[in-house]
Amino acid sequence: METNLEGLKVFLAVAKAGSFSKASEALFITQPAVSHSIKQLEEQLGGPLFFRTSRGVKLTVEGEVLLRYVDQAFQLLAEGERKLTEMHQMLGGVVHIGANDTICKHVLMPYLESFHNSYPQVKMHVTNRTTQETVKLLKEGKIDFGVVNLPIQDHQLTIRSWKPLHDIFVAGASYAELMKRPVTAAELALQPLIMLERDSSIRQYVERFFHGQQVRITPEFELGSMDLLIQFAKAGLGISCVTRQFVSDELASGELFPVLLEPEIPPRHIGIVTLKDVPLSIAATTMLDLCLKDGPAAQ
């Protein structure tokens, strides 16, 4: 049965005031309007909710039962309004982000720190997954947006190109002779290569580059993370395909050296993906705007 919400509000006011006249004053409406609302509500619910006494009105047994639920309902409504106000004022809420661990560590971390410093009461939840898994989480509604390796094509997504990345091959001092001159893709393919696993988007991007050079590569090692690629190269186990921006410290210290590959692997981008036509929360929109302050284009 549908019951008028305004009538329940009047019922609650009368029940708490114990008087039609006091309820009218609290609600800033006339006493006849209060009486009319209660009469309509009683007709809807099939019986009296109040009876008159010398001191005002009291609840019937049915009125007492209704009061317990109506009071709880209005408390929940008030709590809901309070939570929404907090979210609009960035005093609450949560942002769900998907990204692989390398992007999270080397790219996303300063944005997470800046957001937390500005809005400490907003929670952040980061799920570390591959690009393909991040897109799946996004479509399942488990994250607000994902930071992924491009290129990807998906008509369900809004794809924003964000930051350029450059993939290079690096090695330790034991391969120093190889670093002294430019090498071709065919020459590099003869070396013990260390690469990400075959199903990673970066591996597929690099393999397409080699395919364009009419070269097939067979890695010596296939690993699950960029950090492992760096460690294997530092240990002298081969030549690792890594992202230049993620090995800047090792290159600067001389722990690793870049291979002078000619031609170079073209730069790729990481991007931010959201579901088309699905609105984000205030907190998620604020975090997204912080990341996109440089204004990349949406696809």
Q: Which residues pair with 272 in a beta bridge?
A: 147, 160
CA distance 85 to 288: 20
**DSSP structure string for 61-90:** HHHHHHHHHHHHHHHHHHHHHHHHHHHHTT
Host H or E run for residue 40:
helix 31-45
CA atoms 11, 12, 18, 24: torsion sign: negative
| Direct distance between the N- and C-terminal alpha carbons of the chain, in angstroms, rounded to an integer | 48
* Predicted pLDDT at 2: 56
* Predicted pLDDT at 88: 78
* Predicted pLDDT at 80: 84
CA atoms 227, 94, 136, 210: torsion sign: negative
Host H or E run for residue 59:
strand 56-59
* Predicted pLDDT at 97: 97
| Residue 112 neighbours by CB distance under 10 Å | 18
* Predicted pLDDT at 240: 97
* Predicted pLDDT at 100: 92
* Predicted pLDDT at 3: 63
- In 165-198, which positions are buried (b, 16+ CB within 10 angstroms) versus exposed (e)? bebbbbbbeebeebbeeebebeebbebebbbbee
Host H or E run for residue 10:
helix 5-17
Q: Which is nearest to 289 in space by CA: 144, 148, 166?
A: 144
Helix (H, G, I), strand (E, B) or coil at 162: strand
CA-to-CA dists, residue 164 to 150, 189, 243, 274, 290, angstroms: 10, 25, 10, 19, 18
Per-residue pLDDT for the chain (299 aa), expressed as one digit of tens each? 456 888 999 999 999 999 999 999 999 999 999 999 999 999 999 999 999 998 889 999 999 999 999 999 999 988 888 888 777 778 888 999 999 989 999 999 999 999 999 999 999 999 999 999 999 999 999 999 999 999 899 999 999 999 999 999 999 999 988 888 999 999 999 999 999 999 888 999 999 999 999 999 999 999 999 999 999 999 999 999 999 999 999 999 999 999 999 999 999 999 999 999 999 999 999 999 999 986 554 44
Give residue for tokens 């699950």: 224
* Predicted pLDDT at 294: 60
